[in-house]
Amino acid sequence: MSKTKKLTSLSAMKGKLTMDSMLSRTLREFTTGPLNQLIVNLGGQDGSQWEEELKRFLRKEPCWVATVLQRLIATGKYDWINPGITQKNFPVPENFVLGEDPKVFHFNRGISSEDVIKEMDKEGYSLAMIWDLLDYGAKNPEEQRKYPIVGLGSVGEVDGDRDVPFLGRHDSERGLDLTWWDFDWLARCRFLGVRKKVSQASAS
């Protein structure tokens, strides 16, 4: 083999080794970096959300676009959020309207959700929706450190249960959590209500 052919062959081998090394290094960095982080995220507290966004990405759909609910939650700056509180389980329309004259009700006794409805109705109030609850939490961040505040107006099916959102605390942290609609509420619980709208026919 001539010297020229040997040099060409050696150059090609070096080029192939260089490409193989770069590919191996890239794959190694990917599997120990982003891919590993993705696996960690899928198995974490927000795993269901990561899974949904990954499916959108694989379908070449827009992903990680903040929903109306996510934007409302962000304004409250909560330390932790129940992963079951999603736009799918608790849909918030783009054109939602906040209830008027929000009021926190305290009955100072154990009470059922059905009885809360009856008691609020006596004062011309109805149950607050999740957007009312989140708006109240963002504007009154310290209140939930004193007592749980429940929004019975939005009921979502989460893991086969009928759940409602509430503002709570754990030590000094503020959180947005879920509990059962059928729960027998303790005396310390509060419930957010909004004033019922009076129709034109009723007003006249």
CB-based contacts of 112, cutoff 8 Å, min separation 6: 182, 184, 185
Query: At 161, which CATH number?
Result: 3.10.100
Tens-digit pLDDT string for the chain (204 aa): 555 555 455 555 555 556 667 776 665 665 667 778 878 888 887 788 788 888 878 887 777 667 899 999 999 999 999 999 999 999 999 899 999 999 999 999 999 999 999 999 999 999 999 999 999 999 999 999 999 999 999 999 998 999 999 999 999 899 999 999 998 999 999 999 999 987 533 444
Number of domains in the chain: 2
Domain extent at residue 37: 3-58
CB-based contacts of 76, cutoff 8 Å, min separation 6: 134, 137, 138, 141, 174, 176
In a domain, 204, yes or no: no
Q: Which two tokens stand for residue 163?
A: 């759940």
Number of helices and strands (H, E) in the chain?
A: 7, 8
Q: What is the pLDDT at residue 134?
A: 97
Residues 43, 167: Cα–Cα separation, whole Å: 25
Q: Are residues 9 and 31 in the same domain?
A: yes
What is the model's pTM? 0.69
DSSP per-residue codes, 80-112: EE-TT--TTTS---TT--PPEEEEEE--SS-B-
Q: Are residues 96 and 34 in the same domain?
A: no
Q: Are residues 33 and 116 in the same domain?
A: no
Residues 7, 15: Cα–Cα separation, whole Å: 12
Q: What is the pLDDT at residue 203?
A: 46
Residues 204, 147: Cα–Cα separation, whole Å: 40
